[in-house]
C-alpha cells in the first residue's frame, strides 16, 4: 500500500468539459490545485530518494563513532523527508477535494 493519496489521473481533469446542458464553467482554483498536485505527485519519488546516495556512501567515506552518529542522523532525516513528501501530497489532495471543479457562469 502506498503512503500517497490517489494519483492525479484518478481525479477529474480541469480540461474535462462540464456535463452537457450544464450552466457551469471550469473553476480556475481547481485547475491550479490540480496542476500543483500533478507536479508534486510526479516529483515525490525523486524527493523521497534525494538522500539515498549520501546514506549509501556514508559508511564507505568515513568511519568511527562520529561517522556512525552522522549516518544515523542522515537516515533519520531521510525518513522525515519521505514523510514530508507524502504529507505534501495529502495536503494538496485534501485542499483539492474541497474545491469544486466547476463554478456557475
How confident is the model over 13-72, as pLDDT tens digits? Answer: 999 988 787 788 899 999 999 999 999 999 999 998 998 888 888 777 778 888 888 889
Has residue 56 been placed in a domain?
yes
pTM, 2 dp: 0.83
User: Residue 1 has what pLDDT?
Assistant: 39
Query: Could you tell me the residue range of the domain that residue 84 belongs to?
Result: 24-104
Closest CA to 79 of 3, 22, 19: 3
Has residue 16 been placed in a domain?
no
Has residue 11 been placed in a domain?
no
Has residue 69 been placed in a domain?
yes
3-state SS class at 41: helix
The number of distinct structural domains making up the chain is 1
Amino acid at each position: 500500500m502506498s503512503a500517497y493519496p490517489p494519483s492525479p489521473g484518478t481525479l477529474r481533469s480541469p480540461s474535462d468539459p462540464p456535463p452537457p446542458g450544464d450552466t457551469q464553467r471550469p473553476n480556475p482554483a481547481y485547475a491550479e490545485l490540480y496542476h500543483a498536485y500533478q507536479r508534486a505527485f510526479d516529483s515525490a519519488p525523486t524527493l523521497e530518494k534525494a538522500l539515498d546516495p549520501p546514506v549509501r556512501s556514508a559508511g564507505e567515506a568515513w568511519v568511527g563513532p562520529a561517522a556512525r552518529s552522522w549516518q544515523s542522523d542522515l537516515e533519520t532525516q531521510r525518513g522525515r523527508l519521505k514523510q514530508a513528501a507524502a504529507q505534501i501530497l495529502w495536503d494538496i489532495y485534501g485542499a483539492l477535494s474541497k474545491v469544486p471543479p466547476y463554478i456557475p457562469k
